[in-house]
Amino acid sequence: MTDNTADRPVVVGVDGSEASVAALRWAGEQAQALGTGVLAVHAWEPAVGLAPYAPASGRPTPAEQREAAAGLLASAVREAFGARVGSGVHAVLVEGPPARVLLRQARGAALLALGRGDHGRWDMPALGAVGRECLRHAPVPVVTVPVPARAAAPLRSVGGAFSHSGAA
């Protein structure tokens, strides 16, 4: 069975984190291998829950919030692909709950890529609520991309024994 992915993009959830930028980079490589494009998706929701006594001048307007969300998406795409983003990369800003938006955007895609933070310590899940929801309900394969490991500091010899020169 052949699966033609040329017109089915690799969808990537972008939240501005280092993990989502890593997922964007991975998606770019994968899309190139599949001969398809990348659809970078950032879901945003208007801020709620500000104290009712907060001055109106201190609250960002929905237009300001949308502008900030667009800036976050553009910045993440630039960080992942550089200043010259190829024509195969499309960025989409959608208002709505992130999991719902990503699941909707993933319909008909080749796959859905999500960044996976370094939360595996202290019994915290490595994938957040949005990622878990996408894993449960995605209509396409989901790939979770970890943040690349930092280059380890070189080993050095101390008194005949090796020790790590970086922080633990």
Nearest-angstrom CA–CA distance, 109 and 106: 5
* Banded pLDDT at 125 (limits 50, 70, 90): low
CATH superfamily, region 10-48+58-148:
HUPs (3.40.50.620)
Q: 43 pairs with which residues across the strands?
A: 94
Looking at every residue in the chain, the average pLDDT score rounds to: 83
pLDDT at 54 over 80: no
pLDDT at 1 over 50: no
* Banded pLDDT at 126 (limits 50, 70, 90): confident
pLDDT in tens, 22-39: 999 999 999 999 999 999
The ranges assigned to domains in the chain are 10-48+58-148
* Banded pLDDT at 85 (limits 50, 70, 90): confident
Burial of 66 (0-12, 13-18, 19+ CB in 10 A): middle
Sign of CA dihedral 126, 73, 75, 65: negative
- Phi, psi at 11, each rounded to 5°: -90, 135
